[in-house]
Amino acid sequence: MIEAEKLKDISKEVANFYNRVHEVITFPNNSVQSYRATDIGDTYEDIIRDSSVTDSMKVLDAGCGLGAFASYLASTKNCDVTAITFSETEFSKAERVYGEKSTKGNLHYHHADFHFLKDNFSSNIFDMVMFLESFEHVYDKEKVLRDVLDILKPGGFLFIKYHFVLWKNAAGREDAFKKTLQSETDSMRIFTHLALHEYIKLTESIGFQVKLVKLPSINTDDYRSSNANVEVANSAIKNFNFTVPDFPVTQCYNTLLQKI
């Protein structure tokens, strides 16, 4: 476990990054997610389908970004959706864009840090907790997963859409891969990576049972041809010094786990 003050400092650094992002990047459809189809609705429906979220559930969107998915979920399902981000800019924009919109379910945005879920929420209150490309920013993953277990109801679900690190690469690329990963981590200091097998082992040791592990059902040709994704990627490379390797560093998976 990592001391609280260090976690708070890391959260501030991540928040400052996303506050800065809005000065140079306009996210199409208010979606911060990188792995998505040209039509963001297809991505959201894919998440809803794989997570099996249903009406009447109490859902936490942990690391909601600009709040687009939370709004979509509350508009299509009769859920009680709570969405949190530690970026002041994202929280303000989510409130401004979606806060007053009519939805089928209930929708609440909060400026809060998912490293301290037990400080913000009571035990056994959520049916589902979701991390949608935000788990990369969880620095102390064991602590947060244990907190999630606490705030979930018995039998509740954890859904994580996450870019898992690829440790196995073609011959001769292992050193280059590790160098690229280290460069990304050092230059941004806001990403922490896990390999899929590490993640599964950790979650099972804490008290989760794996229900689903799969690639998102997104047409990759459609994804790669999306002008929106290309513009965001190019802007990130230019303005935030991302390192771009000549081979994949991470692969996105949708995972669903249940509290035992």
Task: Give the pLDDT confidence of 88-121 residue by residue, as tens digits.
Answer: 999 999 999 998 888 999 999 999 999 999 999 9
- pLDDT tens-digit readout, 3-59: 899 999 999 989 988 888 777 777 778 888 878 887 889 999 999 999 999 999 999
Domain positions in the chain are 4-259
Contact residues for 50 (Cβ-Cβ < 8 A; gap 6+): 159, 212, 214, 216, 217, 254, 256
Work out the percent of the chain whose per-residue pLDDT is above 90: 59
* CA-based nearest residue to 89, from 31, 188, 33, 15: 15
DSSP string, 122-155: -TT-EEEEEEES-GGG-SSHHHHHHHHHHHEEEE
Q: Which amino acid is at 124?
A: N
| Residue 186: CB atoms within 10 Å | 9
Q: Work out the average pLDDT over 186-203.
A: 83
Backbone angles phi, psi at 252, to 5 degrees: -85, 130
Q: Which amino acid is at 194?
A: L
Q: How confident is the model at residue 229 (pLDDT cuts 50, 70, 90)?
A: low
4-259: CATH topology: Rossmann fold (3.40.50)
Q: How confident is the model at residue 127 (pLDDT cuts 50, 70, 90)?
A: very high
Higher pLDDT, 188 or 9: 9
Residue 150 to residue 132: CA distance in whole angstroms:
20
pTM of the model as a whole: 0.90
